[in-house]
Amino acid sequence: MPMTVKEVIVEGILVSFSYIDIHSQHYRDAAALRYSVFYKEFDLDPGIINDSCERSSIHLAAVINEEVAGYGRLSVCGSTVRISQMAVQKERRGKKIGSHLMNILIDRSKQEGCRNICLDARVDAVSFYRRFGFKTIGDEFPSKKTGIAHIRMEKKLTV
């Protein structure tokens, strides 16, 4: 059973934000969402989401009527945590689902005792992450998986 951490009403619809287990149907649905958002247009193998962080990460889903509408992943490594694979269904973007996911992941990072959050943002998503206090670090680089331009971003935490 997923562990619900927050529920909000978005345009009259209940959205539950829950940590999900990698053996659950919600996880399989989140994997399908991630694939469709990040990799499908490149015709890459769906197994591409199973990187070295997948099994040890914390998985957060935004669920509407048992359907995964959004997702974010948190990978803890010592005092640093990495947020990755942030995805929201195309038709649900602009409704603050991504913002709720980010706030929950930032709060969880603090609970884990982390002092620094990093992420690799698509260049077109930099302004989204800046709203949460992330700053760009270094130069743009192409994603190893898709070639899309990304840039490293970091946020210092006070715990």
Number of folded domains in the chain? 1
Separation in Å, CA 149 to CA 3, 119, 128, 139, 141: 34, 13, 16, 10, 5
| 85: in domain | yes
Contact 158, 107 (CB under 8 A): no
State the distance between the two ends of the chain, measured CA to CA, in whole angstroms. Answer: 30
Tens of pLDDT, residue by residue over 58-77, are: 999 999 999 999 999 999 88
What is the per-residue pLDDT for 14?
96
Tens of pLDDT, residue by residue over 18-72, are: 999 999 999 999 999 999 999 999 999 998 988 888 999 999 999 999 999 999 9
Question: Alpha-carbon distance 32 to 148, whole Å?
Answer: 20
Q: What is the pTM of this model?
A: 0.94
| 63: in domain | yes
Domain that holds residue 63: 3-117
| 154: in domain | no
| 128: in domain | no
| Position 5, amino acid | V
Question: Alpha-carbon distance 71 to 146, whole Å?
Answer: 19
Instruction: Give 128's pLDDT tier (boundaries 50, 70, 90).
Output: very high
Tens of pLDDT, residue by residue over 130-154, are: 999 999 999 999 999 999 999 999 9
